[in-house]
Chains A and B, each alone.
Chain A
């Protein structure tokens, strides 16, 4: 249960793989597609799609690492900060205002990346939950807890950004857009799972139950989305806020990678916190106390 503080061979391989895929992803996604506007098409799949997949693969490889490299999450967060600052700079000051939405469109450069990565985080949570139920390895319980917390953080931000976008665009703070409404439901569902974890004292039960709850809640996501979409279909005349019609993709790509690596760094650190807390929870009493009890 004690976190492994030594760098294993596997950790080195994972780190190398993560860095290589991450750099390739950024090269493809930021430089080639956004800057040069020259996408490589392979059987119809755009550069962007390949870059996104590589980015996600990189994130997964980082998340699979043990605790050996203490500084890696910090490095990830630093890289993320650079991406986000430059991406936001381009989005705020360099990108042209959009056709209909004017300058309010710039919110999309931060809203869309948050949306992609929020769903990604919760997908990680689902996968971690399934893996935990199969392996009973508490490493995955820690990863699941981290993924759920980061996921609801991004979902919360998504709702806020969506409301801030909706007010000048539609005049109301909330317009029951299916994607945002689903996000709100998700937010409550997964926040409930964190609450469940807090109220269960037995670590094994806590891990099993929250994994089960995560699986059930995640399976619900597409169902909620479709039901809200049908429910809202009679009134829905406006376009969804997540469409980005701008031809200027650079800030979007930069911010997407920024949030991806930020999320990954956060999840690595948060999983470490969870693992250390669990270790402290199940640790035997310290020496002095044992002496008194004898």
Chain B
């Protein structure tokens, strides 16, 4: 599986210009959200967490849809894979790579959020943990669905259509916990949300890995 992971990183590194483009997309989204609310600093600060995660979620569709691009280009997904690895290893390699991409994007968008919405926090380790768990939660089912939709018609529409309802718990938990970290958490509720994220990740990283074999078999 390490080989699969290493291959993914190589692929990602070669296409790093794309990562910059995705970041710009995410930052633009955050800007647009502020136009939706208006120049009301208090309201913006209150909803900053929601904007961050919506921006991250929308950007994730761009990242995820590219996951199997290389395999599709070489018709490698049909029966054969670029490397002689088991489908499961391929899945985890890609899912981890996607998660890392999303984490990087999330971290990059935090300063944008701080500046645009005056939504800073000193609890950076917690924020990082939320970003890690939330991104992982999006990546696990997202990679699985990406494998399906990259072979179907109307792939651009299908991926978000399938993914977004599924990761509602991730969105809720990430937004709520980020919001608590930014605005204050008198009753220490953030821990329960983090546990929810952990549970979601536990379930979906195992379930999707299990089912991936069937998705790519011929």
Contacts and interface: CB of A to CB of B under 8 A. Distances in A.
A185 B15 CA distance: 35
Contacts of B129: none
The size class of the interface chain B forms with chain A is 20 to 34
B154 interface: yes
A247 to B, nearest CB: 37
Interface stretch (B5-13, B22-30, B90-98, B164-172): B164-172
Given A196-B158, A216-B141, A185 B165 contact: yes
Interface stretch (A35-43, A199-207, A248-256): A199-207
B152 A224 contact: no
A209 B215 contact: yes
Contacts of B154: 199
Interface string B153-193: 11000100110111011001100100000000000000011
A208 B214 contact: yes
Nearest to A205: B151
Interface string A4-33: 000000000000000000000000000000
B166 A189 contact: yes
B215 A212 contact: yes
Contacts of B158: 192, 195-196, 199
B211 A216 contact: yes
A92 interface: no
B196 A227 contact: yes
B162 A193 contact: yes
The B contact surface, by secondary structure, is: helix
B147 to A, nearest CB: 9
Interface residues of A, number: 30
Interface of B: 141, 144-145, 148-149, 151-154, 158, 161-162, 164-166, 168-169, 172-173, 176, 192-193, 196, 199-200, 203-204, 207-208, 211, 214-215, 217
25 contacts: A133-B214, A186-B165, A189-B165, A192-B158, A195-B162, A196-B148, A196-B152, A196-B162, A199-B152, A199-B153, A200-B151, A205-B151, A209-B152, A212-B215, A216-B141, A216-B204, A216-B208, A216-B211, A219-B207, A220-B166, A220-B168, A223-B196, A226-B169, A228-B168, A230-B192
Nearest first, the 3 A-B pairs at minimum CB distance are A189-B165, A227-B169, A188-B165
Interface of A: 133, 185-186, 188-189, 192-193, 195-196, 199-201, 205, 208-209, 211-213, 215-217, 219-220, 223-224, 226-228, 230-231
